[in-house]
């Protein structure tokens, strides 16, 4: 008679304890602190920076093409221009478009995930580290050129996150994250399928049902690097 009573008191008390803690330690208000117009202003500000960035990047690509044409034209008129060296250096830096067979990898958040708002679900989202790991594996398999959401990724390209926003070359990108890689497709595919090469990613993605798809492509086009190239702290050692 007393035992079921004790058990029910015990369970109710534990439940009560849980409720008390949740009630008193809730640090997020049920409704947002931000008035609607502030959220809107914030989004508009972000959008304006992102729009400016797209314009600036396309202007850089355009100027580099014009300089390319001007250089070729000068090279035809003068024998003092080492065009081959210039071209090979541009290729090494990532300033030439590339085309060839390769892989297309799609990383996307789980269908149950929220990347924005107050119900963000980190565990179900693609993280910047997932993208970095994938690109590292492709580089280790000697990819000749890489792009992420149509932006050229070079060795100095940071891939970071600020909250749930992912940035490549400090430019905002949104899911799905499409990585395109030119190179030996079979070698790259083999590395990507090796779960030991990306243990974190495989473990998290199998739990979260986030998307990781790989497709072989006959032709992939990788654009030129559209960011800034800083060199003011580097000096050449004359040989």
Residues of this chain, 139-178, that bind another protein according to CB under 8 A = 139-143, 154-163, 165, 167, 169-172
Among 136, 178, 187, 223, binds another protein (CB under 8 A): 136
For residue 3, what is the DSSP state? H
| Stretch binding another protein (CB under 8 A), from 92-100, 104-112, 174-182, 212-220 | 92-100
| CB 47 to another protein: min, Å | 10
Q: Is residue 46 near another protein by the rule CB under 8 A?
A: yes
Q: How many residues contact another protein, by CB under 8 A? A: 92
3-state SS track over 53-104: HHHHHHHHHHHHHHHHHHHHHHHHHCCCCCHHHHHHHHHHHCCCCEEEEEEE
Nearer to another protein, 30 or 237 (CB): 237
**Which of 40, 41, 44, 52 contacts another protein by CB under 8 A?**
52
DSSP 8-state assignment for residue 113: -
* Span from 99-107, 136-144, 174-182, 212-220 in contact with another protein (CB under 8 A): 136-144
Is residue 98 within 8 A of residue 141, CB to CB? The reply is: no
Instruction: Give the start-end residues of each E strand in 164-225.
Output: 165-168, 171-173, 177-182, 211-222
Write the binding mask 2 to 31 for another protein: x where contact by CB under 8 A, - elsewhere.
Answer: x---x--xx-xxxxxxxxxxx--x------
Residue 54 CB contacts under 8 Å (≥ 6 apart), including other chains: none
The tokens of 101 are what?
């067979």
Name the segment binding another protein (CB under 8 A); options: 102-110, 124-132, 173-181, 208-216: 124-132
Q: 23 in helix, strand or coil?
A: helix
Residues 193-232 that bind another protein (CB under 8 A): 196-197, 200, 227-232
Distance, CA of 35 to CA of 113 (rounded, Å)? 24
């Amino acid at each position: 008679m007393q035992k079921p009573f004790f058990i029910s008191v015990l369970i109710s008390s534990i439940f009560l304890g849980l409720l008390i803690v949740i009630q008193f330690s809730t640090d997020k208000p049920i409704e947002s602190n931000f008035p609607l117009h502030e959220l809107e202003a914030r989004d508009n500000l972000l959008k304006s920076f992102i729009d400016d960035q797209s314009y600036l990047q396309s202007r850089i690509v355009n100027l580099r093409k014009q300089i390319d044409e001007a250089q070729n034209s000068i090279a035809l008129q003068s024998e003092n221009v080492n065009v081959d060296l210039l071209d090979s250096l541009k290729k090494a830096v990532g300033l030439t478009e590339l085309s060839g067979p390769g892989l297309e990898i799609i990383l996307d958040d789980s269908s149950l995930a929220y990347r924005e708002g107050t119900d963000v679900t980190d565990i179900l989202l693609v993280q910047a580290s997932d993208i970095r790991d994938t690109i590292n594996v492709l580089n280790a398999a000697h990819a000749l050129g890489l792009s992420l959401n149509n932006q050229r990724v070079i060795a100095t390209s940071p891939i970071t996150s600020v909250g749930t926003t992912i940035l490549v070359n400090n430019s905002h990108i949104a899911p799905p994250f499409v990585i395109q890689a030119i190179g030996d497709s079979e070698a790259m595919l083999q590395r990507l399928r090796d779960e030991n090469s990306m243990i974190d990613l495989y473990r998290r993605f199998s739990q979260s049902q986030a998307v990781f798809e790989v497709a072989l492509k006959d032709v992939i086009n990788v654009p030129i690097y559209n960011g800034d190239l800083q060199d003011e702290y580097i000096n050449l050692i004359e040989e």
